[in-house]
Chains A and B, each alone.
Chain A
């Protein structure tokens, strides 16, 4: 059974930084495209970033480009999202998501339970 578990969220001041982690199990982690998707309180889903299985190809939403950095360590079945210059509007639940198939952009067949990030002074 595929499992994804996020960690690292919390409260941070505007302009601050935070690193989210996602550990995967139940599948060959390095063979799959992985992504981060977020959901602001009471709002819909917003794609944030996607990383190829090898880690060589990275994609970002315009809203986070230049501030967020996605990476992975396939030896540890881990994916990361380094978030810098955080803004109030980055407040959301952040989900780690696994791609279905090899196509890009991906759809997501497995999701973590989500981790809240609050940016507030």
Chain B
């Protein structure tokens, strides 16, 4: 099973700042990585799929990069609604797996 390790566990930032979230895979997964945002009491929302493709309706301040084992989600300028937990997910092989999450706090 591919293990995804997200860092940091918590990121404390202010609105307007840049957020950089990392996801590292235990073996190469090419570009088969997605990022999700989850707010308390809500379902996850797809932000980025296949490493760098923004999902429909996702603002341009969200961008994904990386390939192989190292991936990054960047939020260029945090808006108040961006404070949430972010998960990465690999779909390179079964079982698809999720990272443990990064919480972005004010």
Binding site for B on A (CB under 8 A): 37, 44-47, 50, 59, 61-62, 95, 100-101, 103-114
Contacts and interface: CB of A to CB of B under 8 A. Distances in A.
Contacts of A62: 95
B87 A45 contact: yes
Contact of B43 (A95, A103, A104, A105): A95
A107 B98 CA distance: 11
Nearest to A59: B94
Contact of A103 (B87, B91, B95, B99): B91
Contacts, number: 61
B96 interface: yes
Given A44-B87, A45-B87, A45-B89, A113 B43 contact: yes
B100 A47 contact: no
Interface in B75-106: 87, 89, 91-101
Given A37-B44, A44-B100, A46-B98, 18 more contacts: A44-B99, A44-B101, A47-B95, A47-B96, A50-B96, A59-B95, A61-B95, A62-B95, A95-B44, A100-B46, A105-B95, A107-B34, A107-B50, A107-B91, A108-B36, A109-B49, A110-B46, A111-B44
A9 to B, nearest CB: 14
Interface string B48-63: 0110000110000000
